[in-house]
Amino acid sequence: MSETYYVRTFGCQMNKHDSERVTGLLRSSGMTPGTTLDSADVVVFLTCCVRENADERLRGQVASLKSVKTARSGGQLIAVGGCIGQRDGERLLEQLPHVDVVFGTHNVAHLPALLEAARSARRPVVEVLDQAAEGFTSDLPAEREHPWHAWVPITVGCDNFCSYCIVPHVRGRERSRPLDSIVSETSALVAEGVLEITLLGQNVNSYGRDLYGEPRFAEVLRAVAATGIERIRFATSHPKDLSDATIEAMAELPAVARSLHLPAQSGSDRVLAAMNRRYTAADYVSLVDRLYAALPDLALSTDIIVGFPGETEEDFEATMALVERARYDQAFTFIYSPRVGTPAAELEDPTPREVVQERFDRLVARVQASALEKNRALVGTAQRVLFTGVSKRDASVLSGRTEGNKVVHVPLPAGSSAEEWRGRFAEVRIDEAQTWFLGGYTLEA
> Which residues ranging from 73 to 102 are in contact with ligand SF4 (CB under 6 A)?
none
Choices 69-77, 162-170, 258-266, 315-323; region in contact with ligand F3S by CB under 6 A = 162-170
Which residue from 7, 12, 140, 428 is in contact with ligand F3S, where contact means CB under 6 A?
A: 12
Other CB atoms within 10 Å distance of the CB of residue 304: 22
CA 240/CA 257 separation, integer angstroms = 21
Ordered DSSP codes for 423-436: TEEEEEEEEEE-SS
Q: Is 251 exposed, middle or buried (0-12, 13-18, 19+ CB in 10 A)?
A: middle
Which stretch in 95-103, 145-153, 166-174, 381-389 sits in contact with ligand F3S by CB under 6 A?
A: 166-174
Report the nearest approach of ligand F3S to the CB of residue 172 (Å). 10
Using the rule CB under 6 A, give the single segment among 11-19, 224-232, 261-269, 375-383 that binds ligand F3S.
11-19
CB atoms inside a 10 Å sphere around CB 226: 13
The contact pattern for ligand SF4, residues 108-147, with x = CB under 6 A and - = no contact, is: ----------------------------------------
Which of ligand SAH, ligand F3S, ligand SF4, none does residue 51 bind to, with CB < 5 to 8 Å depending on kind? ligand SAH
Least distance in angstroms from the C-beta of 160 to ligand SAH: 7
* CA–CA distances in Å: residue 357 to residues 57, 303, 306, 317, 362: 21, 17, 8, 14, 9
177 lines the binding site for ligand F3S (CB under 6 A):
no
Binder of ligand F3S out of 7, 26, 48, 318 (CB under 6 A) = 48
C-beta atoms surrounding 28 within 10 Å: 13
Question: Measured between alpha carbons, how far is 178 from 212 in angstroms, rounded to an integer?
Answer: 9
- Interactions with ligand F3S, residue window 370-429 (CB under 6 A): none
Sheet holding 77-81: strands in order across? 32-33, 4-9, 42-47, 77-81, 101-103, 125-127
Number of residues lying near ligand SF4 (CB under 6 A)? 10
C-alpha torsion sign, points 351, 353, 359, 360: positive
Residues of this chain that interact with ligand SAH (CB under 6 A) are 50-51, 164-165, 167, 202-203, 236, 238, 263, 265, 303, 305, 334, 336-337, 339
201 versus 440: smaller Cβ distance to ligand SAH: 201
User: Bridge-partner residues for 432, per DSSP?
Assistant: 439
Query: Least CB distance from residue 279 to ligand SAH, whole Å?
Result: 12
β-bridge partners, 433: 438
Interhelix angle 217-225/244-252, nearest 10 degrees: 10
Interacting residues toward ligand SF4 by CB under 6 A = 158, 160-162, 165, 167-168, 202-203, 238
Interacting residues toward ligand F3S by CB under 6 A = 11-12, 14-15, 48-50, 82-83, 166-167, 170-171
